[in-house]
Amino acid sequence: MASVTTDQPAPAHSAPPPPGRRFNRTLPQLACGLIAGVAWVVVYANLAGVANWAAYDLAGLTRGSHLASAVEFFVFEAPKVLMLLVLVVFGVGIVRSFFTPERTRKILAGRRESVGNVLAASLGIVTPFCSCSAVPLFIGFVTTGVPLGVTFSFLVSAPMVNEVALVLLFGLFGWKVAALYMSTGLLIAIGSGWTIGRLHLERHVEPWVYQVQAGRAPDESRLAWPDRVHAGADAVRDIVGKVWPYVLVGIAVGAGIHGYVPENFMAAIMGKSAWWAVPVAVLIGIPMYSNAAGIVPIVQALLAKGAALGTVLAFMMAVIGLSLPETIILRKVLRPPLIAAFVGIVGVGILIVGYVFNLVF
Amino acid sequence: MHIVVYGPGCARCHETERVVRKVLAELQCDADLQKVSDYQAMVAAGVLATPAVSVDGIIKVSGRIPKAEEVKTWLRQEP
C-alpha cells in the first residue's frame, strides 16, 4: 500500500506524531498488516473444512439431522461473514476518508438534476452517514444549492446501499445478488430523487430550513495515508464492534430455519406464484427497522426455503431503506405531504424491483 | 476556551461529550463546555454530520467520536 508517502504534510487539526517517529512505526505496522492479510486468507480458505469437522467430529452430530445441518450452517457462516465484514469495512473505511459529507456537498452543490441524482446516489454509498445526522445533512445540503431531488437521491441511497448489506449479500448469496442489489438500490435512489425533483415539493419543506444560514466546516478529506489506514481500523472497531451481535443472532435464526423449517415451506406465502407477496413484504418492511446485519441472514434462510428472490429483496430494501425512526427524524424538516411522497415513491420503486426480480429469476 | 459538542442526543453524541469531559478533567482545563442539540444552531455552525465538536468556533471533528488523544491536542494548541 502507499504507506511510503508518509512524509506528506499532516492535517492541521489532527496532531501528527513527529515525522521520524511515524516513519519508524510505519514499517512494523506494514509488516503486521501483511501478516494479518495472509492469516486472513489462510483461515478464510479453510473455513468449510473446519465447520464440517466441528459439527461432525467435535460435536459428534449425525449427518443429515436437523441439528447437524443447523450447527454446520452456523459454524461455517458466522466466521465467514464476520471475516468478510472486517475486510470490507476496513477497505470502505479507507475509501470513506476521501468522501466526507462536506466534500460530497461541494461536489453536489449547484448540479443539474439527473446528473446530480446519479452522482448523489453513487456518493451515498461511499459517504459516511448515520440516520441521526440526516437532519443537519439535509439542511446543510438544501441550503447550499443542492437541489431537493438530488438531496433525496443521497438520503435514499446512503442507508440502503451500504457496505454491510453488500458484504452479507455477497457472503450468503454470491456476487450476482450483491451486484443486483447494489444496482437496483442505486436505480431506486436515482429514480425517486428525480421524481421528487420533478414534483417541485420544495414548499413542503419546513420554511425555517431555508432561512438557516449554513456555515461551512473545513474539509477533513485531506489526510495522509497512515491516517486513512487508521480511519479504516476505526471503522472496523466502530461498525463491526456494533453489528457483530446482530450478525450472530441473524445467522443463528437463519441456522434454525435452515435446519428445522421444511423445504419449500415459504414457497406458498413468499413464492413467485403469490402476486400479493411483494406488496405485503414492502408494507411490512417499511415501518420495521433493522440494520442490514440483522436482516440478511434471515433473508437468506427464507430464500433457501422457497421464498422468491424479488419478494425477499424487496422486503430487505424496505426494512433498511425506509424506517419509522428515520421518517420521525425527518419530520423536523419535512411536512407530512413530502414525507408521504418520499415514502410512497421509494416504496413504489422497491415494489417494481421486487416484481422485476421475480419475473427475471 | 469555548468548546461546543453538537449532537441531537444520539448515543454517539453522549459518548463524544463524555470523552471531552474526561479530557477536560484530566488536564484540569477550565474551558466551558456547551452542548448544542438544536438543528438550526448546528447547521449554522457548519455541522453536516453529528457528533461534532468545535473549539473556539472552529470545528475540529464531525461525524465521528473523537479520541481522547485528539481532544488533548486541540486543547494544547490553544494558549
Taking contacts as CB-CB distances below 8 angstroms, the residues of chain B near A131 are none
Is residue A6 pLDDT above 60, yes or no? no
Taking contacts as CB-CB distances below 8 angstroms, the residues of chain B near A140 are 43, 46-48
Taking a contact as any Cβ pair under 8 Å apart, which residues of chain B between 6 and 65 contact chain A? 6-8, 10, 12-13, 39-40, 42-50, 52, 58-65
| Phi (first) and psi of residue B29, to 5 degrees | -90, 135
Residue among A133, A155, A220, A331 with most chain B CBs within 10 A, to mutate: A133
Residue A16 lies in a domain: no
Q: Could you identify the residue written with the cell 424496505?
A: A318
Average pLDDT, chain A: 83
What is the predicted pLDDT for the residue at A217? 64
Is residue A2 pLDDT above 70, yes or no? no
Taking contacts as CB-CB distances below 8 angstroms, the residues of chain B near A102 are 48, 62
Banded model confidence at residue A58, pLDDT cuts 50, 70, 90:
confident
Residue A217 lies in a domain: no
Interface A–B counts its CB contacts (< 8 A) at 90
Residue B10 bears catalytic tag:
yes
Is residue A9 pLDDT above 60, yes or no? no
What is the predicted pLDDT for the residue at A3? 38
What is the predicted pLDDT for the residue at A96? 85
Mean pLDDT, range A180-189, rounded to an integer: 94
Do B40 and A212 count as a contact with CB atoms less than 8 A apart?
A: yes
Sketch out chain B's domains with CATH numbers. 2-77 (3.40.30.10)
Highest mean pLDDT among A214-218, A268-272, A284-288, A317-321: A317-321
Is residue B25 pLDDT above 60, yes or no? yes
Cα angle A97-A114-A313, degrees, rounded to a multiple of 5: 70
Residue among B43, B53, B61 with most chain A CBs within 10 A, to mutate: B43
For residue A174, CA distances in Å to A73, A179, A292, B31 come to: 16, 9, 16, 53
Mean pLDDT, range B29-44, rounded to an integer: 86
Is residue A191 pLDDT above 90, yes or no? yes
Is residue A67 pLDDT above 70, yes or no? yes
Residue A220 lies in a domain: no
What percentage of chain A carries pLDDT values higher than 90? Answer: 24
- A336-360 and A277-285 helices, crossing angle to 10°: 140
Amino acid residing at A191: G
Q: Looking at per-residue confidence, does A238 or A335 come out higher?
A: A335
Chain A residue closest to B66 (CA)? A14
Is residue A88 pLDDT above 60, yes or no? yes
Q: Is B70 near chain A, with CB under 8 Å?
A: yes
B11's CB contacts (< 8 A; 6+ apart) are none
Banded model confidence at residue A279, pLDDT cuts 50, 70, 90:
very high
Banded model confidence at residue B5, pLDDT cuts 50, 70, 90:
very high
What is the predicted pLDDT for the residue at B64? 83
| Least confident piece of the model among A21-30, A40-49, A70-79, B27-36 | A21-30
Containing domain of residue A62, as a range? 21-210+226-361
Residue from the list A102, A212, A333 with its beta carbon closest to the beta carbon of B44: A212
Residue A8 lies in a domain: no
Residue A308 lies in a domain: yes
What is the predicted pLDDT for the residue at A218? 63
What is the predicted pLDDT for the residue at A182? 93
Q: Looking at per-residue confidence, does A220 or A297 come out higher?
A: A297
Question: Which grid coordinates are listed for A292?
Answer: 442490514
- Would you call B78 helix, strand, or coil by DSSP? coil
Taking contacts as CB-CB distances below 8 angstroms, the residues of chain B near A214 are 43-44, 46
- Would you call A87 helix, strand, or coil by DSSP? helix
Residue A96 lies in a domain: yes
Residue from the list B7, B44, B73 with its beta carbon closest to the beta carbon of A15: B73
Do A128 and B63 count as a contact with CB atoms less than 8 A apart?
A: yes
Banded model confidence at residue A14, pLDDT cuts 50, 70, 90:
very low
Question: Which grid coordinates are listed for B53?
Answer: 465538536
Contact call for residues A289 and A325 (beta carbons, < 8 A)? yes
What percentage of chain A carries pLDDT values higher than 70? Answer: 91
Instruction: Give the active site residue among B2, B8, B10, B26.
Output: B10
The predicted-structure confidence for A109-124, as pLDDT tens digits, reads as follows 888 888 999 999 999 9
What is the predicted pLDDT for the residue at A169? 87
Supply the ipTM of this predicted assembly: 0.83
Mean pLDDT, range A272-286, rounded to an integer: 85
Dihedral sign, CA of A99, A100, A105, A106?
A: negative
Banded model confidence at residue A44, pLDDT cuts 50, 70, 90:
confident
Do B50 and A136 count as a contact with CB atoms less than 8 A apart?
A: yes
What is the predicted pLDDT for the residue at A23? 52
| Phi (first) and psi of residue A357, to 5 degrees | -60, -45
How many independent structural domains does chain A possess? 1
Q: Is the backbone peptide bond immediately before B51 cis, with ω within 30 degrees of 0?
A: yes
- Count Cβ atoms below 10 Å from residue A192 Cβ, excluding itself: 29
Q: Is A17 near chain B, with CB under 8 Å?
A: no
What is the predicted pLDDT for the residue at A198? 94
Instruction: Give the active site residue among B3, B4, B5, B13.
Output: B13
Residue among B4, B40, B48, B50 with most chain A CBs within 10 A, to mutate: B48
Residue from the list B40, B48, B60 with its beta carbon closest to the beta carbon of A102: B48
Residue A133 lies in a domain: yes
The predicted-structure confidence for A130-169, as pLDDT tens digits, reads as follows 777 888 889 988 988 899 999 999 999 988 888 888 888 8
Residue from the list A133, A212, A218 with its beta carbon closest to the beta carbon of B49: A133
| Least confident piece of the model among A51-60, A165-174, A267-276, B17-26 | A267-276
Residue A221 lies in a domain: no
What is the predicted pLDDT for the residue at B78? 57
Residue from the list A14, A128, A208 with its beta carbon closest to the beta carbon of B40: A208
Do B39 and A137 count as a contact with CB atoms less than 8 A apart?
A: no
Is residue A215 pLDDT above 60, yes or no? yes
